[in-house]
Structure 1
């Protein structure tokens, strides 16, 4: 059965996933936005931009392990239920993220500091991949039909909200301790703050009940022996490959904001200080939250597929103009115009993410939903996760006459354009999912 109205259980499920997804983004953004600081702490002195690329690359290496987490915990979520799965993942994600604060520095143990950093990011990636495997289905299976689009946008907006919160927290630490203080010791305190959302999410999840949709799967004896491997068997294999193409483009969308807007604002010819750059970037993440909420709500009326295709076309057209606006305003130090550009980029790149929780939940049957949502989501990482290689390659070999030696605005715009093409094609070859029931019929195919 599917819920017909909101209940306290619905609210708990939604808040739980909002906070859990917030934690995932909080950790991600903390790494990406504080990359110049981590480069000085964990790596030997070298080019500031190259060192930042190395920190970002280390995160790319770790997110490649998210599919492994999705496979493990997605399969588990389809076997034992969404709730138990989520309790395990939030504990692992919170502790691993906070463990970053205990890292020794390069000055203390040399390159081993960076190696340990990468190993911690791998553990974070595994638990993060498991977090949305059961989390998105849990929230969507507790949401009444008419509210699916809006709640999908709200849940996904937790990611943007987490990014905004991370930027604010980092900015606050810079204001309190100064940049030198953050580089010397306060960066550890920044990562310790990840424990707060983890504790909140864990407290909520311990009080939750299993979803009625999964209870229905158990009552109908539909639990699969190998839900994860069923994704690659007919007739589900084509569905998975379509989702993978679509999600590859979506990851290009995501990192066009989260990875490279801070990099554009923090490196020459930008004249902004690190604190000012973080403030401008935070505006983009606030707008991203609003964009995801709007996109999710509109998809309930226009359809997931049609709205996404229209958005992809507009994104392709606007990519270069909006990134040039950001670059040029940073170059001349125009705070207002740079903030406007950051807001536009936040809306453009993160709006389409508003349908991901419900779209992926509607694409896969209840008995394989955690596996399908988790690994389908993570499958975009196989190609999209190497964004930290694509942009430097374009910067160094294709667009040297357009980018500056220390800034990558045009290469980032091209990354977003490629993402728009993949998202548009991915949705075009897939079905419209609006109206799909989340419960599964007794007869398994």
Structure 2
């Protein structure tokens, strides 16, 4: 007995306004609009019902040993990256005392780190598409650059030296780090090797490597105590973690996708061909690039505004000591780990955009309960649930961004769009600290304190609403098949270049995928 046919749907709209209208309407329809292509290249559009959620343990059991290898290394690299970054953000007050500067001055280092990550992301991301995922990252990690720069931070005698080292740290972190998405050169590999119905769950877990790194950094800060000089011990731990992950990364195998592409002659051997194809991709996909950059700008503001200054907020505005603030931070990011995993998993059923919109709106509603309570227990509980939904929305991003990416550029496209959004939002922590230090409110016992709570609350409310609106008006390609997509830059012949072949990268990639699949069947 043949399977019932799905209901036909109108084709996907073209143009910014029509796409926005169609996407907003589709958000309130349970079924998903999907475009299909037959063997003759003819396309049809139909409504498909989402597959029911499966037991998460059975989904994880679908991953092979090699799948788990890709995934676990990606998780560890993302955790090390987060520990490196938050070793500074959770110790802002210690560093301010050490260098005799304000909290706002110290957060300048966070701005520079985030700003310069984009340069490293562009270089290592494009190199990943050109030369494979492994060796560009090995080059970055094999030099133990991040670990050495953590050590260099410890030995920075002046504030100017401190800023210079953190700028270099951001430059190399860009090659190591991917959006929202796990490390730039590891996340595409971790997710592209996952079964389709397991991607939402694994995306949510992978993204929480970032939150887990924060938890470890907060644990280290709690363990070393509140003395000013103890910030150096946390940086020593961060250096050891980075070097350890770098050593593991050296023996990590190359992506099977890239190996297959090389065997089948689909790897570009000329830099000119690679850049020509990249330019064509940008011309064809510029709308998607701009949309993803805007979305990632909102998301980076979302996370950094709600977390980077939260430990400082508890210590300066709530009167908590280092131990209490660290314990509350640990609980806060534990909520992030749980929320990111659950909401990422749920997105496989309810849809990527719907999961993001609901999580963002709920987090906005929770802001009063997040900033108004007093005491460690209340702030720990409210922080747990706030970050449950903040990182819950983030848990969907790794797979959502990969599904929106042009198939041949899933190493560079997600990383560059994420990092450009990250660059735009880089002053977020500095803005929060600058405004908070200028505005005074009544604190515990009537003492005048910096207004971290109101500043963070208002900013996060605006950002959460921006995420909900932007996501509602954007596209979704849940369940997109990219297991056999072309890895890296594809060959652009001299004949094509001379003839001015104007076909989009997506069209040519789809044809190559179809040709490869037909040859495999034969």
Q: Find the partner of 1:296 among 332, 340, 344.
A: 344
**What residue number does 2:45 align with?**
none
**Structure 2 residue 324 is the aligned partner of structure 1 residue 324:** no
Q: Find the partner of 1:362 among 378, 387, 403.
A: 403
Structure 1, residues 37-63: CA drift from partner, whole Å, max 9, x if none? Answer: 11121235xxxxxx1121112211221
**What residue number does 2:496 align with?**
none
**What residue number does 1:342 align with?**
383
Tell me the SS of whatever aligns to 1:233.
helix
CA separation of 1:296 and 1:66: change in aligned 2, threshold 3 A: same
Question: Is the 8 Å Cα contact of residues 103 and 116 (structure 1) preserved in structure 2?
Answer: yes
Structure 1, residues 241-277: CA drift from partner, whole Å, max 9, x if none? Answer: 1111111111122113321211210103x23111211
**Map of 1:302-321 to 2, 5 A cutoff?**
302-319=350-367, 321=368
Whose RCO is larger (CA < 8 A, sep 6+)?
1
**What residue number does 2:88 align with?**
31
Tell me the SS of whatever aligns to 2:186.
helix
**Structure 2 residue 302 is the aligned partner of structure 1 residue 253:** yes
Question: Is the 8 Å Cα contact of residues 137 and 369 (structure 1) preserved in structure 2?
Answer: yes
**What residue number does 1:416 align with?**
460
Tell me the SS of whatever aligns to 2:450.
coil
Whole-angstrom CA distance in 1 between matches of 2:287 and 2:379: 42
**What residue number does 1:56 align with?**
107
How far is the alpha carbon of 1:389 from its aligned partner?
Answer: 4.1
Whole-angstrom CA distance in 2 between matches of 1:227 and 1:156: 33
Question: Is the 8 Å Cα contact of residues 152 and 165 (structure 2) preserved in structure 1?
Answer: yes
Whole-angstrom CA distance in 1 between matches of 2:280 and 2:159: 36
Whole-angstrom CA distance in 2 between matches of 1:303 and 1:222: 34
**Map of 1:139-218 to 2, 5 A cutoff?**
139-174=190-225, 179-180=226-227, 183-184=228-229, 186-218=230-262
Q: TM-score, normalised by structure 2?
A: 0.74
Structure 1, residues 92-115: CA drift from partner, whole Å, max 9, x if none? Answer: 2233223322222xxxxxxxx111
CA separation of 1:385 and 1:379: change in aligned 2, threshold 3 A: same
**Structure 2 residue 151 is the aligned partner of structure 1 residue 103:** no
Tell which structure's C-alpha radius of gyration is larger. 2
**What residue number does 1:107 align with?**
none
How far is the alpha carbon of 1:80 from its aligned partner?
Answer: 0.6
Deviates more, 1:230-239 or 1:147-156: 230-239
Whole-angstrom CA distance in 2 between matches of 1:76 and 1:172: 40
CA separation of 1:65 and 1:414: change in aligned 2, threshold 3 A: same
Q: Find the partner of 1:67 among 103, 118, 122.
A: 118
Give unmatched runs, 5+ long, in structure 1.
45-50, 105-112
Question: Is the 8 Å Cα contact of residues 67 and 129 (structure 1) preserved in structure 2?
Answer: yes
Q: How many residues align?
A: 413
Deviates more, 1:410-419 or 1:158-167: 410-419
Whole-angstrom CA distance in 1 between matches of 2:218 and 2:175: 25
**What residue number does 1:427 align with?**
471
Tell me the SS of whatever aligns to 1:221.
coil
Structure 1, residues 391-445: CA drift from partner, whole Å, max 9, x if none? Answer: 2465477x76689642310110111112212212332232112111223268238
**Root mean square deviation of aligned Cα:** 2.5
CA separation of 1:168 and 1:389: change in aligned 2, threshold 3 A: closer
Question: Is the 8 Å Cα contact of residues 29 and 166 (structure 1) preserved in structure 2?
Answer: yes
Whole-angstrom CA distance in 2 between matches of 1:172 and 1:57: 26
How far is the alpha carbon of 1:311 from its aligned partner?
Answer: 1.9
Question: Is the 8 Å Cα contact of residues 197 and 479 (structure 2) preserved in structure 1?
Answer: no
Question: Is the 8 Å Cα contact of residues 12 and 204 (structure 1) preserved in structure 2?
Answer: no
Question: Is the 8 Å Cα contact of residues 292 and 353 (structure 1) preserved in structure 2?
Answer: yes
**Structure 2 residue 72 is the aligned partner of structure 1 residue 15:** yes
**What residue number does 1:444 align with?**
509
Whole-angstrom CA distance in 2 between matches of 1:57 and 1:284: 24
Whole-angstrom CA distance in 2 between matches of 1:366 and 1:206: 26
Give unmatched runs, 5+ long, in structure 2.
1-60, 179-183, 491-507, 511-522
Whole-angstrom CA distance in 1 between matches of 2:280 and 2:194: 25
Question: Is the 8 Å Cα contact of residues 74 and 375 (structure 1) preserved in structure 2?
Answer: yes
Tell me the SS of whatever aligns to 2:327.
helix
